[in-house]
Amino acid sequence: MRKVLVTGANGFVGANLVRVLLEHGDDVRALVRPGCDRRSLAHLPIELAEGDVRDAAAVRRAVTGCAHVHHVAADYRLWARDPGALWATNVLGTTNVLEACRALGVERVVHTSTVGTIGLSASRPADEATPLAPGRLTSPYKRSKLEAERVALSFAAEGLPVVIVNPTAPVGPWDAKPTPTGKILVDFACGRIPAFVDTGLNVVHVRDVAEGHRLAAERGRVGERYVLGHRNMTLREILAELAELLGRPAPRVRLPWAAAWIAGAVSTAIANAVTHRPPAIPLEGVRMARRRMFVDGSKAVRELGLPQTPVRTAFEDALRWYAERGYVSQLTGPRGVAWGSR
């Protein structure tokens, strides 16, 4: 059995990746922070290693003896009271992992970046070769992930066998926080989305993202980036799909972007000055919604064999998981499908 390390294994993508690796016969070691929520890894036949990616010694202990390393851990927040914390985890943490992999002779490293480091095109879906316009990244999170990706590319140029994956907006089980995309599903299921903005994103089943990581380790070209995505959808299309699944009307009111910006600015200002807690409407999320983030993931399909599970299946799997765990009350679709039943 091959020893494989997954950093951030208790997170959304990490928990799904651990399961995919186990199904393919790998011996998985999971690096998790002390005191973190580990319910997503409960009862799995894995080795737990405690440590923070910001701790170089802990990272080196976790990497020791591993043939493959999947560096999934990241601090993913659209708002942070201390942006330096994002940099420490996402950039310094990545450097620590890659330095340990180089020192210990790891055979293959997969670095999890984000589709946010891919440039956008006004005329067609963007791909790995689309240049990123100067000044486009406004959030500390995206800037930190771009720098982490540059670190990974520099290690690849120096001989470390690193492959980079850029997931789009994954949907599915084990989205415990949930992610911004998962929150759309939860909020709609709870009746909290009366209107929508004119935006769009690329949606992919989280299991396909997990498979994409495994395939990148097996088939990916060193130093290459691979967009792990599937279907480009406007927010209106996403809500219409959810409405059909749940047997309820989709919102018809389109919220002007200016109104959304004002709501985000006010919410974020209150968070910064008063509550010091994440804003209900992060301004950075509103800024991201200004442009449709449509991308082309055909390179990963062609070179890696990335699966393309129907988005409806991803929505079904996510809704069932949320209902089973109480994020929403038990839901019944138009055909009597009880989302909360096992």
Q: Which long-range contacts (CB under 8 A, 24 or more apart) does 146-151 make?
A: 146/116, 146/117, 147/87, 147/90, 147/91, 148/74, 148/90, 148/91, 148/93, 148/94, 148/111, 148/113, 149/111, 149/113, 149/117, 149/225, 151/91, 151/94, 151/95, 151/98
User: What is the reported pLDDT for 342?
Assistant: 40
Q: Distance between CA atoms of 115 and 119, rounded to whole angstroms?
A: 9
What are the residues whose beta carbons fall under 8 Å from the beta carbon of 20, sequence distance 6 or more?
207, 210, 211, 213, 214
pTM: 0.92
Q: Is the pLDDT of residue 261 over 80?
A: no
Where does the pLDDT of residue 275 fall: very low under 50, low under 70, confident under 90, or very high at 90 and above? confident
> Which of 275, 192, 210 minimizes the C-alpha distance to 9?
210
pLDDT average, residue stretch 132-140: 78
pLDDT, tens digit, 9 for 90 and up, residues 178-210: 998 999 999 999 999 998 888 999 999 999 999
CA dihedral 31, 35, 36, 42 (to 10 degrees): 80
User: What is the reported pLDDT for 158?
Assistant: 98
Bigger pLDDT: 206 or 288?
Answer: 206
Query: How many C-beta atoms surround the C-beta of residue 305 within 10 A?
Result: 12
Q: Is the pLDDT of residue 339 over 70?
A: no
> Which of 230, 214, 69, 75 minimizes the C-alpha distance to 152?
69
User: What is the reported pLDDT for 332?
Assistant: 57
> Which of 221, 211, 111, 119 minimizes the C-alpha distance to 164?
111
pLDDT, tens digit, 9 for 90 and up, residues 56-99: 999 999 999 999 999 999 998 766 778 889 999 999 999 999 99
pLDDT, tens digit, 9 for 90 and up, residues 17-55: 999 999 999 999 999 999 999 999 999 999 999 999 999
β-sheet with 231-234: strand ranges across: 169-171, 200-205, 231-234
Q: Compute the mean pLDDT over every residue in the chain, rounded to the nearest whole number.
A: 91
Q: Is the pLDDT of residue 276 over 50?
A: yes
Query: Domain coordinates of the chain in residue numbers?
Result: 3-172+202-231+292-309
Q: Distance between CA atoms of 59 and 54, rounded to whole angstroms?
A: 8
What are the residues whose beta carbons fall under 8 Å from the beta carbon of 84, sequence distance 6 or more?
none
Q: Is the pLDDT of residue 134 over 80?
A: no
Domain 3-172+202-231+292-309 has CATH 3.30.460.80: no
User: What is the reported pLDDT for 255?
Assistant: 80
User: What is the reported pLDDT for 334?
Assistant: 56
User: What is the reported pLDDT for 136?
Assistant: 72
Q: Distance between CA atoms of 29 and 7, rounded to whole angstroms?
A: 9
Where does the pLDDT of residue 341 fall: very low under 50, low under 70, confident under 90, or very high at 90 and above? very low
